[in-house]
């Protein structure tokens, strides 16, 4: 497993769920959502709530991503947190 915590460009499906993302110039399509949870964080320090998602992708891969509250454009801010080997 590698810890990265880097910003991501994502595409959501019509249902609002994560459909795909681009990492290192390569597009990954979400084939399966493996897990989902929320963490409140250090709210007293202004840290936002994070929604974590573990996905299996096509081409093959398992990734942990998270998003925080909306950016000024109203969309969630997505980050790639971990890549599982």
Kindly report, residue by residue over 19-76, the tens digit of the pLDDT.
999 999 999 999 999 999 999 988 899 888 899 999 999 988 999 999 987 777 888 8
Task: Show me where the domains of the chain are located.
Answer: 2-84
68 contacts 53 by C-beta, under 8 angstroms: no
2 contacts 30 by C-beta, under 8 angstroms: no
The Cα–Cα gap between 70 and 51 comes to: 12
The model's pTM is 0.88
> In the chain, what's the furthest Cα-to-Cα distance?
40
Phi-psi group of 14: left, alpha or beta (phi > 0 → left; psi -120 to 50 → alpha; rest → beta): alpha
Task: Give the pLDDT confidence score for residue 41 in this predicted structure.
Answer: 82
Q: Which residue in 29, 24, 26 sits closest to 12, CA to CA? A: 29
């Amino acid at each position: 497993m590698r810890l990265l915590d880097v910003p991501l460009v994502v595409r959501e499906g019509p249902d609002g769920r994560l459909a795909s993302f681009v990492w290192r110039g390569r597009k990954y399509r979400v084939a399966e959502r493996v897990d989902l949870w929320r963490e409140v964080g250090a709210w007293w320090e202004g840290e936002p709530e994070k929604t974590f998602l573990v996905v299996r992708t096509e081409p093959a891969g398992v990734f942990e991503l998270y998003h925080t509250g909306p950016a000024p454009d109203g969309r969630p801010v997505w980050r790639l947190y971990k890549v599982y080997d």
